[in-house]
């Protein structure tokens, strides 16, 4: 055993303490939070917890966001949030508090380490040790959805250049600071050439500043298959929001430790730390829940608030506890484990081992890291933007594309002519295939007939004419060239 030095904070109570907003949450939340805070306190973490109420109680009191004004004030004051899981009441109308908090506080990076602790905790992938850095604010989670026709619903996928620059830079910086060797980008840019294409392009652009870090890119479907099959080949994965959401649960599960993974939600001004699991109402009040997920979130918090010695002291004691086979029910295995303990006894076991190091698992060593500077978008010369056409989306009862094409192609309003019609992205006019199934949602692309640039006024003239003809226009999308390059996708077929 190699006892670690007692942290400065424990020796000197006058040392500056960091205020942390703490929410005990619902279900098993209060038990695992009490266990976590007890371990932090015993390890000498210099924090001052400020407790707020969030979750079920607040939702059921009629606040559909699950968080009230005083809680926001605390979060904006401390800028550090240690959060236990909450229960979202069933039924419509309640907003996800996680999504609200991430967006409102600009927590753009969701960081989830997924590690196997073989041979002490069962895992199919003993060598697995990777981190998923998921973009947390954009993509399909912008929450902009519309029902446009009887049959068609739409969700907008928004990917921005600053959003990609922030998350990709964060992933490379994370890799460098944590001694990780490789960053892999997961996207679907063979299909979403503009949105995922931008993410991928920025990954390659920013990657050039990190020649010390190996880099590769994966189409998300085959990347996910390889992740599930051979996770040892990945180190840090950076990916847009939806893929990251799904993949990080898969990764935590196959590490064998969904109850043990913690996560950090990082922004330029605030950060939130939590377990990845939910409030497990089935276990509430029984003193059986594993507090390790929240404890691992709290360890990431200690690194964030620049108490790396305390973080390492706790993590090493925790690893030693796992090694000694002192396990909560969820990871207890006859033959592998030595003693099945409850939440409180597990915390006691970690506290009793503070100062010890694991003997077989690799001990962690954390050092003070310089603060990552707040993101500033790179100065750019804006592209020259030229309006060259418009897509009109019509709600038109499913019918013969030729009839629609015939009616619209007659016109030349606003200096534009009909170029093509698609239905669910497939070209159906001119020269569509009779086999293509059509719904009541038609994208009609009009382009400048002379090739000359258009004005907003031309779009209004076209719109006016089409509406006067009796069509229902549900949406328009302007077609721009940016420095001569199309800012819109072509059609299939
Ligand atoms: P859950 O993660 O709460 O539970 C899934 C399974 O894992 C259950 O069998 C549970 O007993 C077990 N489990 C979870 N955490 C454990 C732990 N620490 N120790 C031992 N076993 C553990 O998922 P769920 O049942 O789908 O969701 C329950 C509630 O949690 C829902 O209201 C959901 O909305 C909410 N939720 C909250 C968060 C959050 O606050 N971050 C995240 C996910 C789900």
For residues 471 and 364, membership in a common domain is answered with: no
| pLDDT value of residue 13 | 52
**Residue 338: closest CA among 320, 357, 325:** 325
Residue 283: CB within 6 Å of ligand 1? Answer: yes
Dump pLDDT digits (tens) for 293-312. Answer: 999 999 999 999 999 999 99
Separation of 58 CA from ligand 1 center, angstroms?
A: 19
The domain boundary, picked from 201, 218, 241, lies at 241
Residue 330: CB within 6 Å of ligand 1? Answer: yes
CB atoms within 10 A of CB 270: 20
For residues 403 and 360, membership in a common domain is answered with: no
The burial class, CB within 10 Å (0-12 / 13-18 / 19+), for 349 is buried
Residue 278: CB within 6 Å of ligand 1? Answer: yes
Q: Is residue 152 part of a domain?
A: yes
List the CATH number of the domain containing 81: 3.40.718.10
Going 174 to 176 to 181 to 185, the CA torsion angle's sign is positive
* Ligand 1 pocket mutation pick from 24, 55, 83, 278 by most atoms within 8 angstroms of CB: 278
Ligand 1 nearest-atom number relative to CA 84: 40
| Percentage of the chain exceeding pLDDT 90 | 79
Ligand 1 nearest-atom number relative to CA 97: 40
pLDDT at position 73 over 80:
yes
Residue 134: CB within 6 Å of ligand 1? Answer: no
| pLDDT value of residue 4 | 42
Residue 88: CB within 6 Å of ligand 1? Answer: yes
For residues 204 and 303, membership in a common domain is answered with: no
Dump pLDDT digits (tens) for 391-440. Answer: 999 999 878 999 999 999 987 888 999 999 999 999 999 999 989 999 99
Scanning the structure block, which residue is given the tokens 């506080």?
A: 105
Q: By residue range, what is the domain housing residue 322? A: 1-111+256-370
pLDDT at position 11 over 60:
no
Going 410 to 416 to 420 to 424, the CA torsion angle's sign is negative
- State the Cα–Cα distance between residues 291 and 128, nearest whole angstrom: 21
The domain boundary, picked from 316, 340, 370, lies at 370
The domain boundary, picked from 338, 370, 402, lies at 370
For residues 64 and 144, membership in a common domain is answered with: no
List the CATH number of the domain containing 407: 3.30.70.1570
For residues 15 and 84, membership in a common domain is answered with: yes
How far CA 145 is from CA of 99, 178, 477, in Å, comes to: 16, 38, 16
Q: Is residue 119 part of a domain?
A: no
Q: Is residue 447 part of a domain?
A: yes
Dump pLDDT digits (tens) for 209-246. Answer: 999 999 999 999 999 999 999 999 999 999 999 999 99
For residues 230 and 153, membership in a common domain is answered with: yes
Going 193 to 436 to 146 to 107, the CA torsion angle's sign is negative
How far CA 411 is from CA of 260, 408, 422, in Å, comes to: 64, 6, 18
| pLDDT value of residue 425 | 93
For residues 317 and 227, membership in a common domain is answered with: no
Residue 29: CB within 6 Å of ligand 1? Answer: no
For residues 162 and 218, membership in a common domain is answered with: yes
Between 99 and 58, residue with greater pLDDT? 58
Q: Is residue 285 part of a domain?
A: yes
Ligand 1 nearest-atom number relative to CA 292: 18
Q: Is residue 308 part of a domain?
A: yes
Give how many domains the chain has, as a whole number: 3
Between 9 and 193, residue with greater pLDDT? 193
- pLDDT bin (cut points 50, 70, 90) of residue 6 is very low
Ligand 1 nearest-atom number relative to CA 291: 18
- State the Cα–Cα distance between residues 187 and 135, nearest whole angstrom: 12
pLDDT at position 2 over 70:
no
How far CA 288 is from CA of 33, 121, 147, 262, 335, in Å, comes to: 13, 17, 45, 18, 20
Separation of 27 CA from ligand 1 center, angstroms?
A: 9
pTM over 0.85: yes
């Amino acid at each position: 055993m190699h006892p670690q030095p007692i942290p400065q904070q424990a020796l000197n109570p006058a040392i500056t303490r960091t205020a942390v907003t703490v929410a005990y949450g619902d279900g098993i939340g209060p038990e695992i939070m009490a266990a976590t805070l007890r371990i932090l306190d015993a390890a000498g973490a210099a924090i001052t917890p400020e407790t707020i109420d969030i979750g079920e109680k607040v939702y059921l009191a009629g606040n559909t966001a699950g968080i009230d004004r005083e809680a926001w004030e605390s979060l904006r004051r401390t800028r550090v949030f240690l959060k236990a899981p909450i229960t979202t009441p069933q039924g419509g109308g309640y907003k996800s508090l996680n999504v609200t908090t991430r967006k409102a506080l600009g927590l753009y990076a969701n960081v989830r380490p997924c590690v196997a602790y073989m041979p002490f905790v069962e895992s199919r992938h003993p060598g697995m040790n990777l981190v998923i850095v998921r973009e947390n604010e954009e993509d399909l989670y912008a929450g902009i959805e519309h029902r446009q026709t009887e049959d068609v619903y739409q969700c907008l996928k928004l990917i921005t250049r600053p959003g990609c620059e922030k998350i990709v830079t964060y992933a490379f910086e994370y890799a460098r600071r944590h001694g990780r060797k490789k960053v892999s980008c997961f996207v679907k840019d063979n299909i979403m050439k503009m949105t995922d294409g931008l993410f991928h392009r920025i990954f390659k652009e920013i990657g050039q500043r990190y020649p010390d870090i190996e880099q590769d890119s994966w189409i998300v479907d085959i990347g996910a298959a390889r992740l599930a099959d051979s996770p040892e080949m990945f180190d840090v994965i950076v990916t847009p929001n939806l893929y990251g959401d799904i993949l990080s649960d898969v990764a935590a599960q196959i590490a064998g430790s969904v109850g043990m993974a913690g996560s950090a939600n990082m922004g330029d001004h605030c950060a939130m730390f939590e377990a990845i699991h939910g409030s497990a109402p089935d276990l509430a009040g029984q003193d059986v829940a594993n507090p390790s997920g929240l404890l691992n979130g709290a360890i990431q918090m200690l690194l964030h608030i620049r108490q790396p010695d305390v973080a390492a002291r706790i993590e090493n004691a925790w690893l030693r506890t796992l090694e000694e086979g002192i396990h909560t029910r969820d990871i207890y295995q006859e033959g592998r484990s030595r003693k099945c303990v409850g939440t409180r006894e597990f915390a006691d076991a970690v506290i009793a081992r503070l100062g010890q190091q694991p003997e077989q698992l690799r001990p962690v060593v954390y050092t003070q890291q310089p603060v990552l500077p707040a993101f500033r978008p790179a100065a750019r010369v804006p592209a020259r933007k030229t309006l060259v056409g418009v897509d009109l989306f019509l709600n038109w009862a499913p019918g013969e594309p030729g009839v629609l094409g015939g009616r619209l192609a007659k016109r030349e309003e606003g200096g534009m002519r009909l170029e093509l019609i698609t239905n669910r992205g497939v070209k159906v006019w001119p020269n569509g295939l009779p086999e293509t199934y059509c719904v009541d949602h038609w994208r009609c692309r009009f382009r400048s007939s002379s090739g000359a640039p258009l004005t907003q006024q031309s779009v209004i003239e076209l719109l006016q004419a089409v509406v006067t003809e009796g069509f229902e226009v549900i949406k328009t999308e302007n077609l721009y060239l940016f420095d001569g390059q199309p800012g819109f996708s072509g059609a299939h077929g």
